[in-house]
Chain A
């Protein structure tokens, strides 16, 4: 499996540098209600239409924990093979900002709900285990809208109070590729669990990226910089590349790295200082006196564990075993739960080899072209499996199937109906085929002579001409057989 070697280093004038990366991922908990209020969490609603008295921090309002969000955090923790803490504490993180109505964010500081866990990455150079430091629950803030008025800032509190899971990795990542794989894997696990939709465009998943560099072989970590709130995998990778290079240049110039918070400027593709360590906020964390410590029994955890769905790593193993898929094929399928579900649906009722080729080949390409996810696929798994059946039972040829597939993309019609309607059923009647073949040979008598004098390569020409003559319907295998006999 390790056909490649890990090879991401920054080459400087003084030698090679290793990049050390840790991520703090903010994942929005899939829940209809917010972490401490019953307001809706629906994306894209009218500004300030999903704001309860609690979310707006009206005087005398008190938070009440949403039990479902606790379950979701536990579920995610189990998916990360992590330690679940039966006692955790909500703290207040105090700072002033216009879109933070309470003047503090309720988070978990010293005692998170989930402790150490791990995520396994499948890299070209083998599997790699990334440690999870912790997962904690916290509230999201509202949104400041600076572009609505030339002089005013507007505030939308729809997001205020929405539950987030902050998932902190250990500094185990070593390249932008590993970061991309890590995010994809984490997202995949949460999607399997149904605990976070992982939708980065809607802000359901974003990350603070901690980057430092050190000389190869060094055991000490370098001083790190934190790049705040990066919201796409591509930006994370670009930010890391830029930041690592910046740090190496500074160090090679004999300068020091200042521990600081930076932001990634997506327009200029560079990181910039946001605030230095001296300007760092003093958040004055303390346990929220409105919320008793969060306590639950092991039985609560066990019950959630019992109902956990199959997770990517297990699924991959099973796909390889049950369907005899290659590691690569299984890896592609499980990266997204919808894809592997779709594949299994198709394969169950048709043919495994054809199913894998059609799903990761034609279907992926088609979806990519129209910009849709597999969940939004215009072709249902049921219809794709019917199409494969038609190939398998020789009703249509692979070539015709591709034509039918193109039609199905437009209207998701039953391929059988399309085939019948368009008269695309494969011609397998030997008599009929012989008629066509005789016509082709007659029309190309010169080429027949050439073939018989030794130009073997012309065989393909005859096959092609017959298929063409039959308007694609001729069964290629039969055409082959008959042609061979006729030309011998």
Chain B
């Protein structure tokens, strides 16, 4: 019998529509795995009973025509879910139950997908290893000589959950690489859509001008299907884009002939491991051998991207997180007066990394420093956008590695924030320029760890991105090597 939890999202739905299995059976298969997977610590909240009853209800439906019918889906714990705890993996929201549903998750449930839980992440999505979560580390299903590895971050719970078949697909958020880097570390597909493609309404905000929700899936077609469902204009989000209804999955084409692929020289960073450099060359070769035109390009301001990001993102975060003050909802630590209550609440409610970024953000916005930091960063951000605009005059997509290294061990970068921030070096530019980018697993290194390539696309041209990724996916034939070692 088919192991239902091993099916891709597209296959699962086909199974249900063709009545090869019921929604209850599909959900049951996932729940069985979830119940044995606490060691991975992917879930902040499980919603298994509700998932069961919703599956049963779907099974009684005459028509099974909804796009995601019966698909069990856990989402990052940054998406507000009505009646289900939403914590942003922070102590300060540890008791917060929204009375409303985020636009993108609402779209999932409208297509008869079934919520099975909320997934762990870095606190307020600030981190690259999931180690800043208030609810403990998430383990990567892949290990290095039996030693545990980080799943990446901030959407670490999402990445591990997809890789370990604990959810048929998921949505994460990506502010500087939070979808793509963990996808790369766990051998799954992660897509950050164009800024404005998906509504941000109901997503706990980190950095409003950079945040974007996107799919994390077992393969490229699943990503296309998920994007079809979650994208679209939302009048409740003033930054969402008015674009016609997409059909990425139906339009997907496996062809790269004549495709112009840019290879940016600035991404060839010092000390890049040979395996990553080789991986990049392999990717180039596949495309070239199949009729794509490879072009060397320059994105000259790339070297400023990381510092720019680490000014703009904390600046916005310092303001976005001001609402968590113990007054209205969430965690409160009492004090003798209002100021002391604020101080107690926020020093106890936020973790170290979040406080670090609030302080950086507060500093760069302060009078006397604003021009030198925030304003300058905005100017550089604009230059980075112009770099891409210029590049896209000559190429259709840009190919780079997703990360400079494969997954690393716990604690490796914890004491060195700068080293940790370097994880985002290849991914932040897409956020700064608002462009779509996808991370795609390619192969395993000699230690059996997944390595991934990243494709940048033109603004709102996710289709070319998906087409190219789909083609490479078929060529490399990457298969999961997850061994369920954590199950007892």
Q: Contact residues of A with B, CB < 8 Å?
A: 53, 56-65, 92, 94, 96, 98, 101-104, 153, 155, 282, 284-286, 289-292
Instruction: Report, nearest first, the 3 A-B pairs whose CB atoms are least far apart.
Output: A103-B322, A289-B208, A284-B365
Identify which of residues 362-395 in chain B touch chain A, using a CB-to-CB cut-off of 8 Å: 362, 365-367, 370, 374
- A59 and B96: CB pair below 8 A? yes
B209 touches A98 (CB 8 A): no
Beyond A96-B342, A290-B205, 17 extra complex contacts between A and B, CB < 8 Å: A57-B328, A58-B80, A59-B96, A59-B204, A59-B205, A60-B202, A61-B201, A62-B239, A63-B238, A65-B238, A94-B365, A101-B328, A102-B322, A104-B319, A104-B322, A155-B327, A290-B208
Complex alpha-carbon distance, A60 and B236, angstroms = 11
User: Taking the nearest CB of chain A, how far is it from the CB of B309, in angstroms?
Assistant: 14
**Residue ranges of B at the interface with A (Cβ–Cβ < 8 Å):** 80, 86, 88, 93, 96, 98-100, 102, 200-205, 207-209, 235-239, 315-316, 318-319, 321-323, 325, 327-329, 338, 342, 362, 365-367, 370, 374
Give the chain B neighbours of A94 by CB distance below 8 A: 318-319, 322, 365
Interface of A is mostly: loop
B-chain residues with CB within 8 Å of residue A98 when the two chains form the complex: 325, 327, 338
| B478, chain A: closest CB distance, angstroms | 34
Contact of B236 among A62, A102, A282, A289 (CB under 8 A): A62
Quick check: A57 and B323 within 8 Å, CB to CB?
yes
Which residue of B has the minimal Cβ distance to A54? B236
Interface centre among B99, B235, B237, B322 (most CB of A within 10 A): B322
Known interface pairs A59-B80, A59-B98, A60-B204. Does A102 touch B323 (Cβ–Cβ under 8 Å)? yes
Contacts of B328 in A (CB 8 A): 56-57, 101
Q: How far apart sit A289 and B374, CA to CA, in the bound complex (Å)? A: 13
CA distance A103 to B203 in the complex (A): 18
**CB-based contact B80/A291 at 8 Å:** no
Choose among A61, A62, A285 the residue with the greatest number of B CB atoms under 10 Å from its CB: A62
Query: Does B80 contact A60, Cβ atoms closer than 8 Å?
Result: yes
What's the minimum C-beta distance from A136 to chain B, rounded to whole angstroms?
Answer: 18
Q: Given that A64-B235, A284-B362 are known contacts, is A289 also in contact with B322, CB under 8 Å in the complex?
A: no
A291 and B367 form a contact (CB under 8 A): no
The answer to whether residues A292 and B102 also contact, given A101-B327, A101-B328 and a CB cut-off of 8 A, is: no
CB distance from A64 to the nearest CB of B (A): 5
Residue pair A103, B325 in contact (C-beta under 8 Å): yes
Chain A residues with Cβ below 8 Å from B102 are 60
18 chain-A/chain-B pairs, Cβ below 8 angstroms: A59-B204, A60-B203, A64-B236, A94-B318, A96-B325, A282-B366, A282-B367, A284-B318, A284-B362, A284-B370, A286-B365, A286-B370, A289-B207, A289-B209, A289-B239, A289-B316, A290-B238, A291-B238
Nearest CB in chain B: distance from A138 CB, A: 16
Name the distance in Å between B366's Cβ and chain A's nearest Cβ. Answer: 6
Chain B residue nearest in CB terms to A284 = B365
State A290–B96 Cα separation when bound (angstroms): 23
- Compute how far the CA of A57 lies from the CA of B342 in the bound complex, rounded to whole angstroms: 16
B88, A59: Cβ atoms closer than 8 Å: yes
Contact: B100 with A53, CB < 8 Å? yes
Whether A286 lies near B315 (C-beta < 8 A) is yes
Contacts of B316 in A (CB 8 A): 289
**How far apart are the CA atoms of A60 and B323 in the complex, in Å?**
11
A286 touches B374 (CB 8 A): yes
Inter-subunit contact B323/A59 (CB<8 Å) = yes
When distances are taken between beta carbons in the complex, the residues of chain B under 8 Å from A92 are 319
Q: Which of A59, A153, A286 meets B319, CB within 8 Å?
A: A286
> Across the interface, do B322 and A292 meet the contact criterion of CB distance under 8 Å?
no
- List, in ascending order, chain A residues with CB within 8 A of B236's CB: 62, 64
Q: Which residues of A contact B88 (CB under 8 A)?
A: 59
Point out the residues of chain B lying under 8 angstroms from A56, CB to CB: 328
Residues on B with beta carbons closer than 8 Å to the beta carbon of A59:
80, 86, 88, 93, 96, 98, 204-205, 323
- Chain A, residue nearest B199 (CB): A62
**Which chain A positions have C-beta within 8 A of B93?**
59
- Neighbouring B residues of A291 by C-beta, 8 Å: 238-239
- Nearest opposing residue in chain B for A144, CB measure: B338
Q: Measured between C-beta atoms, what is the minimum distance from A39 to chain B in Å?
A: 14
Q: Which of B237, B319, B321, B367 has the most CB of A within 10 A?
A: B319
Smallest CB-CB separation from A291: which chain B residue?
B238
Which residues of A lie under 8 Å from residue B209 when comparing CB positions? 289
Measured CA separation A160–B323 after assembly (Å)? 14
Shortest CB–CB separation between residue B162 and chain A, in angstroms? 23
Assess the B238–A62 pair: CB atoms within 8 A. Answer: yes
A92 to B319, CA, bound (A): 8
Nearest chain B CB to A206's CB is how many angstroms away? Answer: 23
Indicate if the CB atoms of A62 and B325 lie closer than 8 Å: no
Enumerate chain B residues within 8 angstroms of A292, measured Cβ to Cβ. Answer: 238-239
B201 contacts A62, CB within 8 Å?
A: yes
Structural contact, B370 and A58, CB atoms closer than 8 A: no
Residues in chain A near residue B319, CB distance under 8 A: 92, 94, 103-104, 284, 286
Q: How far is it, in angstroms, between the C-alpha of A60 and the C-alpha of B329 when the chains are bound?
A: 13
Q: Which residues of A contact B100 (CB under 8 A)?
A: 53, 58
Question: Within 8 Å CB of A60, what residues of B?
Answer: 80, 98, 102, 200-205
* CB-CB nearest in chain A for B327: A98
Q: Which residue of B lies closest to A102 (CB)?
A: B323
CB contact under 8 A between A290 and B239, given known A94-B322, A104-B322: yes
| A residues near B366, Cβ cutoff 8 Å | 282, 284
Distance of B4 from chain A, by nearest CB (Å): 33
